């Protein structure tokens, strides 16, 4: 009986509409105009994250406030001309999926699902990969055990120059796998142990490219080899002061060259960016930023960047 009823329901109900293909994909840049971005609005798992110490949240989450902040962030991106797509994983068990930059990369050839060094984040990459695949983005390869890579330890300094940080979340095996998948000119930089896993240091914790010749940096923790590379490429540094490093001052999202989104509460970094010729847009980042330790770059998975 149950099988017959199920069949009748399936036949009598219209199939859900197929996802429309994306207008394009490929985000081998941190500063080219951001056309399409994927985000995950805070859900029940985010609201409960503080109660499991494995997630590392600083205080009990005010979920309505987190949602208002996230809405303000995505509204800002929309006003700046970005097409914002919601992952819509309302039943996801992963609170950190709100920080959509980490689980997967989108290259010009397609998606590369990663394998987080934080065990509680494993599985997020499958949710993002499925969303992209349904919209025509192929998977070109993935990081597998024992390799680990967090997206926050990766960035494109040029479309043909990829940087990876070896950190407590991204191990040597993961670096080797990802370098092979990306191909071309890949540079690897070691990050210090600093304060350990409790206050994790990603490569993007210490640098945010914001234009072809400009990057926000936190100099005390910037790898010396990366500092040297910036000089070789003629990239000017905008230094984040010590007091604004804990408030996500170094995590800056460029929606196009010189047009930046920053976490509110970093006035010195904002003034330095404006002095360097940038247009700066702050957003409220208490629950979705400071509590879960993720800035504007972390909140986004760029799908298409194109001039």
- The domain locations on the chain are 23-305
Model confidence at 2, pLDDT cuts 50, 70, 90, reads very low
Angle made by CA atoms 224, 230, 236, in degrees to the nearest 5: 120
What pLDDT does 199 receive? Answer: 78
Q: At residue 283, does pLDDT exceed 90?
A: yes
Average pLDDT, the chain: 94
pLDDT in tens, 86-114: 999 989 999 999 999 999 999 999 999 99
Which of these, 252, 256, 304, 257, lies nearest to 283 by C-alpha position? 252
Strands (E), the chain: 34-39, 83-86, 104-106, 111-113, 154-158, 161-166, 185-190, 207-211, 214-217, 236-239, 253-256, 259-263, 279-283, 301-305
Sheet strands side by side (includes 259-263): 253-256, 259-263, 279-283
Name the fold adopted by 23-305: 3.75.10
pLDDT in tens, 26-68: 999 999 999 999 999 999 999 999 999 999 999 999 999 999 9
């Amino acid at each position: 009986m149950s099988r017959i009823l199920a069949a009748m329901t399936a036949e009598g109900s219209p199939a859900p509409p197929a996802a429309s293909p994306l207008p394009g994909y490929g985000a081998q840049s941190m500063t080219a105009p951001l056309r399409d971005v994927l985000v995950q609005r805070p859900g029940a798992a985010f609201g409960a994250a503080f109660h499991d110490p494995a997630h590392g949240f600083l205080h009990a989450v005010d979920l309505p406030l987190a949602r208002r902040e996230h809405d303000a962030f995505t509204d800002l991106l929309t006003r700046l001309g970005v097409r914002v797509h919601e992952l819509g994983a309302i039943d996801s068990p992963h609170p950190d999926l709100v920080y959509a930059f980490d689980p997967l990369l989108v290259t010009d050839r397609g998606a590369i699902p990663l394998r987080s060094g934080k065990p509680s984040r494993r599985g997020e990459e499958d949710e993002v990969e499925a969303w992209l695949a349904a919209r025509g983005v192929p998977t070109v390869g993935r990081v597998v055990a024992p390799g680990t890579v967090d997206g926050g330890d990766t960035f494109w300094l040029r479309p043909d120059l990829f940087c990876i940080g070896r950190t407590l979340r991204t191990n040597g095996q993961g670096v080797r796998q990802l370098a092979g998948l990306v191909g071309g000119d890949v540079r690897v930089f070691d990050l210090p142990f600093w304060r350990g896993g409790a206050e994790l240091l990603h490569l993007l914790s210490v640098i945010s490219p914001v234009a072809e010749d400009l990057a926000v940096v936190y100099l005390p923790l910037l790898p010396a080899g990366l500092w040297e590379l910036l000089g070789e490429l003629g990239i000017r540094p905008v230094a984040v002061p010590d007091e604004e490093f804990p408030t996500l001052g170094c995590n800056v999202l460029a929606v196009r060259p010189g047009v930046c989104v920053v976490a509110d509460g970093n006035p010195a970094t904002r003034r330095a960016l404006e002095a360097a010729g940038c247009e700066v847009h702050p957003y409220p980042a208490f629950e979705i930023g400071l509590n879960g330790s993720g800035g504007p770059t972390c909140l986004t998975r760029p799908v298409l960047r194109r001039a």
